[in-house]
Amino acid sequence: MLLALALAAAGPATTAIDAERAFAADAQKRGQWTAFKAWSTPEAVMFTPQPVKAHDFLNGKADPPVAVFWWPGKSFVSCDGKTAINTGPWVRDGGKSVGYFTTVWKRQSDGGWKWVYDAGDALPAPRAQGGDIAPTIASCTGPPSPMFGVHGYSIRKVGNGHSEDRTLVWSWLVTPQGAHRFRAQMWDGRAMVLVIDDQVAAPPK
What CATH topology corresponds to 2-60+69-200? Nuclear Transport Factor 2; Chain: A, (3.10.450)
Check whether the bond before 49 is cis (ω within 30° of 0): yes
- What is the mean pLDDT of the segment spanning 145-151? 49
Q: Above 60 in pLDDT, residue 182?
A: yes
SS3 at position 119: strand
Nearest to 120 by CA among 9, 17, 201: 201
Alpha-carbon 65 to chain mean position: 23
- Look at residues 99, 62, 77, 67 and name the one whose alpha carbon lies nearest to residue 19: 77
What's the mean pLDDT in 90-98?
92
Give residue 151's pLDDT.
42
Task: Check: pTM over 0.85? Answer yes or no.
Answer: yes
How confident is the model over 35-54, as pLDDT tens digits? 999 999 999 999 999 999 99
Long-range CB pairs of 51-54, under 8 A, 24+ apart, other chains included? 51/157, 51/159, 51/172, 51/174, 54/118
